[in-house]
């Protein structure tokens, strides 16, 4: 560690080295604070806070990742990873950031019905590549999300009730571990079971291989209802979910639209309930299944239709513009009417902090045990609630705004009687959104214990800690 101010405190490494040399032999670019391109490289979808590393490596390939991790190990530096910034949790203060956006190769094997994608591939590209062969991956709602990061959080997709967690269908993970070795790990390995569900705690994933499914079209889209019907829509949907087949996955999102002139008139200042539907089945059967939802009343919009799977981003129509946000979620064993009332009282239309409230229907194949003991827990959940709010952190790297935190805390407390825990992909924000208490909520206690023990084996110095961190124990 000559020439550096890195200090080892117990097993934790603290950062801020004096200027150290860069890794050698890289194909991709390197940026230091103040360099042209540094700000663009650390930026991403989450604009509330950013990574502030001492060094950014724009990795071009797995060999760049290996060289960078070796360099970090030699110099006692922690390593953060970013593909798109959608799921950034603990921001890097110092250390090294490996930016994977250049590693975006996608290769489909139509005969094997598998796809291999690099660490920087986004869902949009994977969906498109698979669709050319009449196949579909288990992608989520937004095409701009990174496919690797999504799998590292379990992955609750558009057809989740039919196929289960995306992570359950991973065939191989290639990664660089803290000792600087490139490894390929497959179901049955200890390391494979540790990697999926743990947000980069066990290494830098360079590529993944997963299964594809013969899905060419779905019946889906959105129904939107105005303020007066919002409560009834939610209640009708809640009871309706009990009778739908696994082929149908749906969600309700309640959106408090601000009173802004740039919004279309029917949405401006309104509290809108949207029902998002994805059904793997015929349009006729889809129409029959959604009839009770349409019967609630007049819709602001209704675009349910048969669509090519490659257009499935139209089902949720998630925002594509980077912004600042924080979210809490709750995996619920059930959602009784009392739970809905508690949820709306805490974070509904009268909330002083506007919350976009989503309730996803889980169950179905999501209840099946995961293969090879992967760390994706709370499989008994029937619903997933999430509240997303605008987020104005007090300082970079920082803590988050108190009113939002308090409101999200109220929601969690209101749903506590039915809550099994959190899901990593539905928790956004830094500070208390990613602290040890939250990390424990992601797993069953025994899983957490197993993971912290494995972390001590695979990453004893906690090199990979700018994430929802599992401390080595
Ligand atoms: C608009 C939106 C829609 C979403 N929809 C869904 C959905 O439908 N279903 C669902 O399950 N999730 C969904 N998510 C959650 C999303 O899957 C997670 O936030 C995921 O972590 C994003 O990964 P990323 O690579 O895009 O983001 P990044 O911020 O780049 O990465 C997130 C974290 O993943 C880890 N990571 C990423 N790449 C690597 C790597 N190569 N090696 C090691 N660690 C890595 C790092 O800890 C990193 O901080 C959504 C998120 C947003 C913002």
Sign of CA pseudo-dihedral 455, 459, 463, 464: negative
Q: Is the pLDDT of residue 235 over 90?
A: yes
Indicate the pTM of the whole model: 0.95
If you average pLDDT over every residue of the chain, what do you get? Answer: 94
Q: How far is CA 222 from the centre of its chain?
A: 22
Q: Which residues contact 350 (CB under 8 A, 6 or more apart)?
A: none
pLDDT (mean) for 129-138: 98
Cα 166 to middle of ligand 1, angstroms: 13
Sign of CA pseudo-dihedral 460, 462, 464, 467: positive
Q: Are 293 and 240 in contact (CB under 8 A)?
A: yes
pLDDT at 188: 93
List the one residue out of 138, 150, 186 whose CA is nearest residue 371. 186
Give dist(CA 19, CA 299) in Å, integer.
Answer: 60
Q: Find where tokens 């801020």 sit.
A: 16
Give dist(CA 301, CA 255) in Å, integer.
Answer: 14
User: Does any ligand 1 atom lie closer than 6 A to the CB of residue 51?
Assistant: no
Cα 429 to middle of ligand 1, angstroms: 12
Q: Is the pLDDT of residue 1 over 60?
A: no
Q: Which ligand 1 atom is the nearest neighbour of the CA of 149?
A: 23
Sign of CA pseudo-dihedral 88, 104, 454, 443: positive
Spell out the domains of the chain, with CATH numbers in brackets: 8-99 (3.30.43.10), 106-214 (3.30.465.10), 217-441 (3.40.462.20)
pLDDT at 371: 86
Decide: helix, strand or coil at residue 267: coil
Cα 117 to middle of ligand 1, angstroms: 15
pLDDT digits (tens, 9 = 90+) for 410-436: 999 999 999 999 999 999 999 999 999
Q: Are 448 and 404 in contact (CB under 8 A)?
A: no
User: Does any ligand 1 atom lie closer than 6 A to the CB of residue 150?
Assistant: yes
Cα 329 to middle of ligand 1, angstroms: 15
User: Does any ligand 1 atom lie closer than 6 A to the CB of residue 156?
Assistant: yes
Q: Which of 41, 66, 150, 459 to mutate to test the pocket of ligand 1 (most atoms within 8 A of CB)?
A: 150
pLDDT at 11: 33
């Amino acid at each position: 560690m000559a020439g550096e101010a890195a200090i080892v405190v117990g097993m934790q490494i603290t950062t801020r080295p004096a200027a150290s040399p860069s890794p050698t032999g890289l194909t991709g670019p390197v940026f230091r604070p103040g360099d042209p391109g540094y700000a663009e490289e650390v930026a991403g979808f989450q604009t509330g806070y950013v990574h502030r590393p001492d060094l950014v490596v724009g990795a071009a390939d797995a060999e760049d990742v290996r060289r960078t991790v070796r360099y970090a190990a030699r110099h006692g530096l922690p390593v953060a990873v970013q593909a798109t910034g959608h799921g950034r949790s603990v921001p890097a203060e110092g250390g090294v950031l490996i930016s994977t956006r250049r590693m975006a190769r996608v290769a489909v094997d139509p005969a094997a019905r598998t796809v291999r994608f690099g660490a920087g591939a986004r869902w949009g590209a994977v969906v498109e590549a698979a669709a050319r062969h009449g196949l579909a991956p288990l992608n989520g709602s937004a095409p701009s999300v990174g496919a690797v990061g999504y799998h590292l959080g379990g992955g609750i997709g558009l057809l989740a009730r039919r196929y289960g967690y995306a992570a359950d269908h991973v065939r191989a993970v290639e990664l660089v571990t803290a000792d600087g070795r490139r490894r390929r790990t497959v179901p049955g390995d200890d390391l494979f079971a540790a990697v999926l569900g743990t947000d980069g705690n066990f290494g830098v994933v360079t590529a993944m291989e997963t299964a594809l499914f013969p899905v060419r079209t779905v019946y889906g889209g959105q129904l939107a209802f105005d303020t007066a019907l919002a409560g009834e829509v939610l209640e009708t949907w809640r009871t309706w979910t009990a009778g739908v087949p696994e082929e149908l996955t749906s969600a309700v999102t309640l959106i408090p639209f601000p009173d802004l002139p740039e919004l279309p008139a029917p949405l401006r200042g309104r509290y809108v309930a949207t029902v998002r539907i994805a059904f793997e089945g015929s349009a006729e059967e889809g129409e029959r299944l959604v009839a009770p939802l349409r019967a609630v009343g007049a819709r602001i919009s209704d675009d349910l239709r048969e669509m090519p799977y490659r257009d499935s981003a139209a089902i949720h129509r998630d925002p594509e513009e980077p912004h600042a946000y924080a979210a809490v979620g709750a995996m619920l064993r059930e959602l009784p009417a009392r739970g809905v009332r508690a949820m709306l009282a805490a974070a509904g239309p009268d909330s002083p902090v506007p919350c976009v409230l989503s309730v996803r229907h889980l169950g179905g194949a999501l209840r099946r045990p995961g293969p090879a003991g992967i760390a994706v827990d709370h499989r008994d959940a029937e619903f997933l609630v999430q509240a997303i709010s605008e987020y104005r952190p007090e300082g970079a790297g920082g803590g988050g705004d108190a009113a939002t935190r308090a409101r999200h805390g109220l929601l969690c407390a209101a749903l506590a009687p039915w809550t099994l825990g959190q899901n990593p992909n539905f928790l956004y924000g830094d500070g208390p959104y990613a602290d040890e208490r939250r990390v424990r909520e992601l797993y069953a206690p025994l899983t957490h214990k197993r993971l912290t023990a494995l972390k001590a084996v695979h990453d004893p110095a906690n090199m990979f800690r700018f994430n929802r961190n599992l401390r080595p124990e």
